[in-house]
Amino acid sequence: MPLGRIAVREGWVEPLNLYILVALPPANRKSAAFAEAKKPVQDHENLLTAIAAEKVAGEKAKREVLAAVR
């Protein structure tokens, strides 16, 4: 099953979503609270992006080698 999805039951897959609302009066560190809440998600997304970048670079190198051979 692809990342970012959950199997509710056999044959039923749903995407995962995260909704965050920080509701406080002005000057109560809403931005800091929001940043702290979303940090684990951003860290995981950054990890997945780095992994994908490595795969893309490897495939690009393979394509260049194949193009040079032809």
Per-residue tokens: 41? 């998600």
pTM of the model: 0.56
So what's the pLDDT on residue 1?
55
User: For residue 34, which of 15, 20, 54 has the smallest C-alpha distance?
Assistant: 20
The answer to whether residues 2 and 11 touch, using CB atoms and an 8 Å cutoff, is no
Q: What is the mean pLDDT of residues 47-60?
A: 94
In eight-state DSSP terms, residue 58 is: H
**7-34: per-residue pLDDT in tens?**
888 989 898 887 878 788 999 998 888 8
The answer to whether residues 13 and 6 touch, using CB atoms and an 8 Å cutoff, is yes
Q: Which residues pair with 15 in a beta bridge?
A: 5
**What is d(CA 49, CA 43) in angstroms, rounded to the nearest whole number?**
10
